[in-house]
Structure 1
Amino acid sequence: MRAWRINWQAIADKNRALAPQLLEQNMRRLRFAAPWIPPINLMHIWLFWQRQPESANEALWRQGILVAHGAMFVFFGALALLAWYLERRPERVRLRQLCVSAAIVGTLGFATAISAIDQLITSNITPLLVGCTLVALIFLHRPFSALWLFSLTLALFLFGLQQTQGDPIVLLSNQVNGLSACSIGLLLAWLQWRNFIQIYTQKQRLQAQALLLEEQNQKLSYLAEHDPLSGLLNRRAFNTIVERELLRYKRTRQPLCLLLLDLDYFKAINDRFGHPLGDAVIKRVASLLSSQVRSLDSLARLGGEEFMLLLSDCDREQGLQIAEKLRELMETQLREVDGKAVALTVSIGISYLDAGQSSTYESLYAASDRALYSAKQEGRNRVKVAAPN
């Protein structure tokens, strides 16, 4: 029995989710269709105005047709203007809903009235068939709404038919034909809704896939430029930044410093405590360095226990002060990591470019490397400076 239960809450939630798209689709279709109706009404009015009635019944029929099409002309003319007004006002949700509902009810109401009026001199119910078809094809209807709409249309048509058609045989035939016309409208409306749901679902799936693809591309782009362990820039991305900064230096002659940092005796940490703690140390160092650099500086992990820092708009003396501050920070903050006494220090090599000098990235890097080697040779846990060749 549970398989046959209807989840009304799920249906209501889906209807609420689709309501904005449904309203926008119907408003777009109304804006297109409404301006076409008044010219058609004028054509009917002109044709029926030319005809002179030959009997009282025909005169009544002609008068009813003229009144119905005149009312349709005014009604849809006003709807066309209202739809044009609401085109750039999506916030007027209630008025938009009322506009669409009026168009649907008005179309079926006029189709029913004209079909009933036609019974005065003919058995024709073509207006009802045309109205049901147009409403089903032009507008989107939720399934239950469509069922109520076309059921009410059929009831109104049968009532009007009783008032104007006196031939029992024709009455029965038109009752059956009216049922068929409303059923065709209902079927078309359901098919339209099904297509709308399929297109909407496919669009949502494509949007989700596009979003996922964008996220994956962003992750790949991030991984292509960042070290996965520390989250800092990798060597390739850092090299690109340094080359760009050197080009800027040629234009502005603002000084810069390049710092090469290497953790002292880091291999002993891995050998003694294992690589997991070594990874924790690298993350801790990256966090400490990141907390000290300025927004205009660039920090990277070159690999292993080596880091590099580019200080923009920073001369030799300023670079020395920053490097010494970083050295002291590492000495005090790396005494213990994850409860393990590691007592790590760092050696730093600096190269610099002051105003008026010229150099290449290769020369700067080589100078920083020489200075770092000198710091290691002189006992580690110190800062040394070297000028580029």
Structure 2
Amino acid sequence: MKFDGIKKRFFIKNKLLKKGIRNILSQNSIINKEFAISNLRRLYYLALIAAPMSLINIIKFLFFIGVESREEILWRSGIIAAHSTIVATAIMLGAISSHMLNKEKLNILSAIAVKFFAIAFILIIGAVIVTLDQLVTSNITPFLIACTVTALVFIIRPIVSIPIYLAAYIIYDLLLRLTQRNKVILASNQVNGITIIGIGICLSIILWKNNINNLVQRRYIEQQKKKLEELNAELEYKNKKLEHLAACDSMTGLLNRREFERIVSHELSRMRRYEYTSCVIIVDIDFFKKVNDEYGHPAGDELLRQFSFILKSELREFDIVGRWGGEEFIILLPDVSVFDGRKVAERLRQVIEKYNFTINGRVVKITASFGVAELSYEETEAFNKCYDRADKALYMAKKSGRNCVKVIW
């Protein structure tokens, strides 16, 4: 059973990977761009290595390798010329690849052209050096190096790499015949050349497949990361929404009683620290029951929303407004004296009295009563005592005929 489970997971993973590869392969522009950038980077670093190495070989052949026969002289001159060409070409390709990588927008076709030029040059120069080596030795290592380097450095599609290496073998075979007169050695090198080409094709295909798999996995990780970010954003939004629902009155959007008391507690801590007093105002809509009776409860709810909007818009941004219950509201004015708090309450009263509330297309006029009291940090149970005083002041306002402001100093 355990083996079956492992087999099943492997099958699913393999199926998803194949699906991802098919999706990637169908998006040629993505592959071309990703691999073009990768090939240019690899070419740049290859050029940095190839130029000084060939320069060292030139110096070695010029000053440290002695020659006597005509073939050896021709061999040394040819090798020096070949490595000089490598130095010049490496510098040129390094500069081109660096320039293309630093451009804001990469020209994909140009990058592909540079890649194929580099591959062709490496394979041909490898075949040329082998041809020159046949003057003094049967060694074909340069062609092996050329095929291995192109296979391992450059990412080439299998459908393209196969004809490239076959063409390289034809050039290798034709050039080899020019300098290798020994038929046995020639035949041996030809056979070994086929093996080398096979190695090049095999390595190229393996590298292509590995890079495709890496691209699929990277894209999959990016997609999963994006989904996770979207889920986190959605979760954060929902958490904020839940926090808002927990802290605010669903009808008016003002703070609910529990959240208002929490903020007041926090404000009292600040008041003790910086030694200032604040002011609490309790507001009650006059004859609100008549509105419900005459226009219905939905109309009453709409009036509460408009009333809440007025309170919020007429106060400072950092003033705290909450719905205490029913048609009763409560306001905390931080760092405001009772004297100034009374002025604020009076201004609110006048605004409400003049405001045209619109209910079902009809204008409704209402008034409100206000009770004001000081919130002092020096008292024990400061908010409860302040609330009692403000509530008594509100009661006095109602007893005095409503639509007025009363203060208990």
Ranges in structure 2 where 5+ consecutive residues have no aligned partner:
1-21, 178-185
Equivalent AA in structure 2 for residue 110 of structure 1? I
Match of 1:311 among 327, 333, 337: 333
Q: How does 1:165-204 map to 2 (within 5 A)?
A: 165-166=176-177, 171=190, 174=193, 178=197, 181-182=200-201, 184-186=203-205, 188-204=207-223
- Please give the alpha-carbon distance, in whole angstroms, between the structure 2 residues aligned to 1:320 and 1:235: 22
- Please give the alpha-carbon distance, in whole angstroms, between the structure 1 residues aligned to 2:296 and 2:130: 95
Match of 2:359 in 1: 337
- Please give the alpha-carbon distance, in whole angstroms, between the structure 2 residues aligned to 1:53 and 1:268: 119
Query: Once the two structures are superposed, what CA deviation does each residue of 1:231-268 show, in whole Å capped at 9, x if it has no partner?
Result: 33444544444334334334544553222233345456
Q: How does 1:94-105 map to 2 (within 5 A)?
A: 105=117
Ranges in structure 1 where 5+ consecutive residues have no aligned partner:
1-5
How far residue 83 of structure 1 moved from its aligned partner, in angstroms, is 8.3
Query: Once the two structures are superposed, what CA deviation does each residue of 1:34-72 show, in whole Å capped at 9, x if it has no partner?
Result: 655556556766887766668766665555555445554
Equivalent AA in structure 2 for residue 189 of structure 1? W
Q: How does 1:1-389 map to 2 (within 5 A)?
A: 11=27, 15=30, 19=33, 37=50, 41=54, 60=74, 63-69=77-83, 71-72=85-86, 92-93=104-105, 105-106=117-118, 109-120=121-132, 121=134, 122-123=139-140, 125-136=143-154, 150=161, 153-154=164-165, 157-158=168-169, 160-161=171-172, 163-166=174-177, 171=190, 174=193, 178=197, 181-182=200-201, 184-186=203-205, 188-225=207-244, 226-227=247-248, 228-266=250-288, 269=291, 276-333=298-355, 335-340=357-362, 343-353=365-375, 358-359=378-379, 360-387=382-409
Equivalent AA in structure 1 for residue 361 of structure 2? G
How far residue 78 of structure 1 moved from its aligned partner, in angstroms, is 7.8
Counterparts in 2 of 1:346 and 1:205: CA distance versus 1, 3 Å: farther
- Please give the alpha-carbon distance, in whole angstroms, between the structure 1 residues aligned to 2:304 and 2:283: 12
- Please give the alpha-carbon distance, in whole angstroms, between the structure 2 residues aligned to 1:215 and 1:107: 49
Query: Once the two structures are superposed, what CA deviation does each residue of 1:280-311 show, in whole Å capped at 9, x if it has no partner?
Result: 33332332222212233233334544433222
Counterparts in 2 of 1:196 and 1:41: CA distance versus 1, 3 Å: farther
How far residue 118 of structure 1 moved from its aligned partner, in angstroms, is 1.6
- Please give the alpha-carbon distance, in whole angstroms, between the structure 1 residues aligned to 2:240 and 2:280: 25
State the superposition RMSD in angstroms.
4.7
- Please give the alpha-carbon distance, in whole angstroms, between the structure 2 residues aligned to 1:69 and 1:275: 94
Corresponding pairs, count: 367
- Maintained 8 Å contact 1:301/1:307: yes
SS at match of 1:165: helix
Structure 1 stretch 314-323 or stretch 365-374: which is displaced more?
365-374
Structure 1 stretch 324-333 or stretch 57-66: which is displaced more?
57-66
How far residue 116 of structure 1 moved from its aligned partner, in angstroms, is 4.2
- Please give the alpha-carbon distance, in whole angstroms, between the structure 1 residues aligned to 2:226 and 2:277: 48
SS at match of 1:381: coil
- Maintained 8 Å contact 1:260/1:308: yes
Counterparts in 2 of 1:105 and 1:194: CA distance versus 1, 3 Å: farther
Q: Which has the larger radius of gyration?
A: 2
- Maintained 8 Å contact 2:58/2:84: yes
Query: Once the two structures are superposed, what CA deviation does each residue of 1:90-121 show, in whole Å capped at 9, x if it has no partner?
Result: 66555999799757743652244214432453
SS at match of 1:185: helix
- Maintained 8 Å contact 1:261/1:306: yes
TM-score by length of 1: 0.69
Counterparts in 2 of 1:24 and 1:171: CA distance versus 1, 3 Å: closer
Match of 1:3 in 2: none
- Please give the alpha-carbon distance, in whole angstroms, between the structure 1 residues aligned to 2:44 and 2:388: 71
TM-score by length of 2: 0.67
Query: Once the two structures are superposed, what CA deviation does each residue of 1:107-165 show, in whole Å capped at 9, x if it has no partner?
Result: 652244214432453455422331233224xx6x7x6xx865x4784476256325412
SS at match of 1:230: coil
Structure 1 stretch 246-255 or stretch 36-45: which is displaced more?
36-45
Query: Once the two structures are superposed, what CA deviation does each residue of 1:160-180 show, in whole Å capped at 9, x if it has no partner?
Result: 325412257855874685376
Q: Percent identity?
A: 26
Counterparts in 2 of 1:163 and 1:86: CA distance versus 1, 3 Å: closer
Structure 1 stretch 287-296 or stretch 120-129: which is displaced more?
120-129
